[in-house]
Amino acid sequence: MLSVHAVRHLRDFVLDITLSVRPGETLVLIGENGAGKSTVLNLISGILTPDEGEITLAGRTLFSSAERVAVPAENRKIGHLFQSYALFPHMTVAENVAFGLRCRKVPRPEIAFTVGNQLRAMNLADLADVNVSRLSGGQRQRVALARALVLEPELLLLDEPLAAVDMRAQAAMRGELRDRIRVAGIPCIVVTHNLRDAVELGDRLCLIDEGRVAAEGSPEEVLGMRENGFIASFAGPQAP
């Protein structure tokens, strides 16, 4: 169970968000560019620190301004896929995926085994020894996803995880992602601009507008709010 209350002053507005996600549940964040979606993920994973608020995950307090607690990012056990991938440019694909396991001092043979499996699952096995600067855009995004998933985190934060992935792989990866989250029984937050992601991945949908939760509910509920201009265009001309 993840529960978040976080306030942070941004350039144009104050972000003030309250969210909670149950284990095995996927919350999809949608909203305009610059609404604050990536910032919410950064606050949760510890890249940014809220000005105020409280974040708890599976009973652990990750941040609390009242108790003056701020668990450093590296101890939060959160898988975070960055919008711009942030692949380590001095490493190969396999080294990128192995990075987190090495930080956890997993024995080498086990790393090799786990990374090999992960790469195969994501159709990246051929690229294992390629330097990441020589990947196409979609290949990069898949590597970033593999790198986050391989750690079996207690929470997954995915920032537009399939935006650059080709359509065929998208369908497959969407399915795999959904299964993984269900099996792992961890909470998951996905940011997307893609209707299919929202409908197929999301147990709940949350619309962020200028740093606040503007609407929340099941995909059907939220996408049904046709009176909201953003949702109207998100859901597209035909009803979902």
Partner 1 sequence: MIGHGGWKWAGRAALTLIVAALLALFLLFVTLPVASLFLRISPEAFFRSLAESVVIDALTLSLATATVSTAVVVLFGTPLALVNARHDYLGREIIDTLTDLPIVLPPAVAGIALLMAFGRRGVVGQYFDAFGISIAFTTVAVILAQIFVASPFYIRQARASFEAVDRLYEDAARTLGASPATVALRITIPLAWSGLVSGAILSFARALGEFGATIMFAGNFQGRTQTMPLAIYTTMQGDLDAAISLAIILVVISFAVIAAVKVITRRSV
Ligand X SMILES: Nc1ncnc2c1ncn2[C@@H]1O[C@H](COP(=O)(O)OP(=O)(O)OP(=O)(O)O)[C@@H](O)[C@H]1O
Q: With respect to Mg ion, which residue has the nearer C-beta, 38 or 141? A: 38
161 binds ligand X (CB under 6 A): no
39 binds partner 1 (CB under 8 A): no
166 binds a second copy (CB under 8 A): yes
| Residue whose C-alpha is closest to residue 55's, from 29, 10, 23, 17 | 17
Q: With respect to partner 1, which residue has the nearer C-beta, 49 or 56? A: 49
From the list 90, 103, 120, 137, which residue makes contact with Mg ion (rule: CB under 5 A)?
Answer: 137
Binding mask 105-144 for ligand X (x = CB under 6 A): -----------------------------xxxxxx-----
Q: What is the DSSP string of 56-106?
A: EETTEEEEETTTTEE--GGGS-EEEE-TT----TTSBHHHHHHHHHHHTT-
Distance CA 72, CA 103 (A): 15
From the list 26, 38, 118, 141, which residue makes contact with Mg ion (rule: CB under 5 A)?
Answer: 38
From the list 166, 176, 200, 203, which residue makes contact with ligand X (rule: CB under 6 A)?
Answer: 166
Q: Exposure pattern of 134-165 as b/e (b: 16+ CB <10 Å)?
A: ebeeebbbbbbbbbbbbbebbbbbbbbbbbbb
Binding residues for a second copy (CB under 8 A): 11-12, 30-35, 37-38, 83-84, 126, 130, 134-139, 142, 159-160, 163-171, 193, 195-196, 229-230, 233-234, 236
